[in-house]
Structure 1
Amino acid sequence: MVTPEETSHRLGWLEAGGSHHELGLALGRQGKRAVRERLMGTPLWREVTAARHLPLVRRLQAATAEHFPWVAEELEGLAQGLELPLEAVAAWNCRGDLLASVPDGCTTLVLPGEAPLIAHNEDGLPCLDGSCFLARLRPAGQPAFLTFCYPGSLPGHTFSLTAAGLVATLNNLRLVGITPELPRMVLSRALLAEPDLAAALVLLETAPAGGGFHYALAQAGDSEVLSVEVGGGGFSCRALAAPTLHANHCLHLDLPQAITASSADRQRRGEALIAAGERDPLTLLRDTSGPGLPIYRRAPDDPDEENTLATALFRLPSEDVAWQVVVPGEAGSREGIGLY
């Protein structure tokens, strides 16, 4: 086992607590070098922070301040820690609302039952491989949480476990033709503050329209796992009774969307492996065989500009959720019980 305190590994570690501004500041400082040296030179950063998006970004900033002022405080702290203009950092955290297709991929596998397992490939920009980090954060007045963080981004849109017992893994949905009213990454950050699964569902169902996310959600001590698709003002929730894989397109929310070749191929291959009886989560999520583009994505020329940066496993229904994070190129794994 690799403990979080060991720092000689490709996946970094951050411990922070305090006000939301202080959390954002710590996150910004942790990601500053990677954002400046790896991210800001990419075509995606230039596209998202282009001046033509500024009016919409300002409207989404105002909506964030209205609905979740404490998330706005985290964004301000994040920008300060990165030493970048707030509007550029806000735009980056609205990327899935400004553009129909961004390289925030991911694949989630759910194996339901009396002792369910949620497993998740976190797929993102290859230029950030080796610059991401796990964070154990303790916001004042809210549940602490453990989460996977990208440099320059709010926490909450990857995979997370909270002290309230919520487990959440997220996949990008490429919805088209939406008019965003609240950034999807603000909503996913707000979800980590909810006291339980029921409250999290109310939050997602009643939220203003934004970009699309698929959530796999579960509560410690409960064997039920939910598949929730949200975006564009739509909401669809299903309880999962059979092994299920979810890539980067809606499976039960009926909204216009773009389905890339990678997403379609991963969905087909995962369903074929499940139908053939495969139940080992790492075998499924590290599969590179079969026709089409692979589930486990490490190619430098991936057509969606995404690589698998980490694989997470959450084992329920114990009140103390067991978790494991495996990173390409890193010996062993990081694992723990609950937030530790």
Structure 2
Amino acid sequence: MLSLIQLSGSPYDVGQSLGKFGAEAAHAHLVSSHAWQSVMAWKGTLQARAMSAMVREHFPSIWNELDGLAAGLELPLEEVVLWNCRGDVWAMAPDGCTTVQVPLACGPRITHNEDGDPAFAGHCAIAEIAIDQGSHFASFVYPASIPGHTFAVTETGLVMTVNNLRWRQVAVGVPRMVLTRAVLDQGSVPAALSLLRTIPRAGGFHLSLAQRGQPDLLSVEFSTMGVSSQPVQIPSLHANHAIHASMRDFPQIITKSSLCRQQSGDAMLDTAQDPLAILADQRNADFPVYRNALDDSDGENTMATADMHVGADAVRWQVYERPGEPARFQLIDARIR
């Protein structure tokens, strides 16, 4: 069952509490997994050391969160930092997701399937986080990972959902999970875009971005090669490969699951189906949109679905554990109702 945790204090305190929350799952599953071993192959490399140095230089408070996370997990800091660089060093890290983006006159609607390692089912949470003299946000969190690479809403009404992109070309820069964690410290969508464009990037993601009280809904793809931001003007779907004209021709891995989810979702949008129905679809038995098979082709399952309505005065959103069930959590902006 998806948990609710409320964390506050210094960046180190919040990281340590998050580490304690995920320690059991990390030791029982993560550190013995193929994914962990694949990422740890980069331990001690020049690229890993350079990324750590750039986090300390550009985002010292997030470095403190990582330090606290390692302490709470009772794992070496070097290994925890590297795990939070997994998509920058390994294109097939088990992080997926599918997002439906709907521009509406009353404000954008963003509906998102959070897909990850099936072994973490029952070990994830919605975390309401308040950093001393810093940001306040609510985010889906995985064991052993900092917030900000899933779906989140901040106290200032900034909404972000994140989809994995499997870039083949990366460079020394700030890890993508650190960049999206830093987005949650920004007060607006323009500030978030400025951060992504000005800070050196190692890997990249797709983001859906919106802001309470603003009509705009943005689709953003970024990588070490660049940042593409496009306004979403018609109902759209994004899976796990770059589709923007300026980004799609850079070297990337497009899995069969990602391609089929994109095609299935696009077809359902053409018939004006509800976003929640699209994200629950399993008509393609081999490559469904909603993924709950232990032998999933990408090694990912849907952990939760977030349905976010970005209004003039508030972001009202629900988090579901499984299709057809009542919402597990109801939130307004960064707070559980």
Partner of 2:303: 309
1:156 aligns with 2:148: yes
The alignment yields a C-alpha RMSD, in angstroms, of 1.5
**Is residue 14–residue 131 contact of structure 2 (8 Å, CA) maintained in 1?**
yes
Alignment equivalent of 2:312, drawn from 295, 315, 318:
318
Residue 94 of structure 2 corresponds to residue 100 of structure 1 = no
2:267 aligned partner, one-letter code? A
TM-score w.r.t. length of structure 2 = 0.95
Q: How many residues align?
A: 330
Task: Give the aligned partner of residue 266 of structure 2.
Answer: 271
Q: Which of residues 296, 300, 304 in structure 1 aligns to 2:290?
A: 296
In structure 2, which of residues 174, 187, 195 is the aligned counterpart of residue 195 of structure 1? Answer: 187
Measured in 1, the distance between the counterparts of 2:225 and 2:63 equals: 21
Please list, as runs of the form range in 1=range in 2, the aligned pairs for 1:234-245 lying within 5 A after superposition: 234-245=226-237
User: Aligned match of 1:31 in 10, 15, 22?
Assistant: 22
Q: Which moved more, 1:14-23 or 1:328-337?
A: 328-337
- Code of the residue aligned with 1:188 in structure 2: it is T
Q: How does 1:200-215 map to 2 (within 5 A)?
A: 200-215=192-207
Q: CA deviation at 1:210?
A: 1.5
Structure 1 window deviating more from structure 2 (231-240 vs 321-330): it is: 321-330
Matched, 1:47 2:38: yes
Question: 2-side partners of 1:329 and 1:113: how far apart?
Answer: 23
Show structure 1 runs of 5+ residues with no match.
Answer: 1-9
Report the residue type matching 1:20 in the other structure.
P
Q: Which residue of 1 aligns with 2:224?
A: 232
Q: CA separation in 1, counterparts of 2:137 and 2:91?
A: 29
User: Within the alignment, does 1:216 sit opposite 2:211 as a pair?
Assistant: no
Structure 1 residue 53 displacement after superposition: 5.5
1:58 CA displacement: 1.6
Q: Which of structure 1's runs of 4+ aligned residues deviate more than 4 A?
A: none
Cα distance in 1 for partners of 2:263, 2:324 equals 29
1:15 is matched with which residue? 6
**Structure 2: stretches of 5+ with no match in the other structure:** none
Distance across 1 between alignment mates of 2:285 and 2:142: 31
1:3 is aligned to none
81, 86, 109: which one pairs with 1:117? 109
In 1, Cα distance between equivalents of 2:226 and 2:18? 31
**C-alpha contact 1:175 1:232 (8 A) present in aligned 2:** no
Deviation at 1:209, TM superposition (A): 2.1
Partner amino acid, structure 1, of 2:280: R
Give the aligned residue type for 2:276.
L
Per-residue CA deviations over 1:41-100 (Å, capped at 9, x if unaligned) read 111111112355543222111110001011100000000000110011011000000112
- 2-structure distance, mates of 1:25, 1:184: 21
SS at match of 1:293: coil
Instruction: Say whether 1:75 aligns with 2:60.
Output: no
2:275 to 238, 263, 281: 281
Tell me the equivalent position of 1:130.
122
Q: Is the 8 A contact 2:50 2:172 kept in 1?
A: no
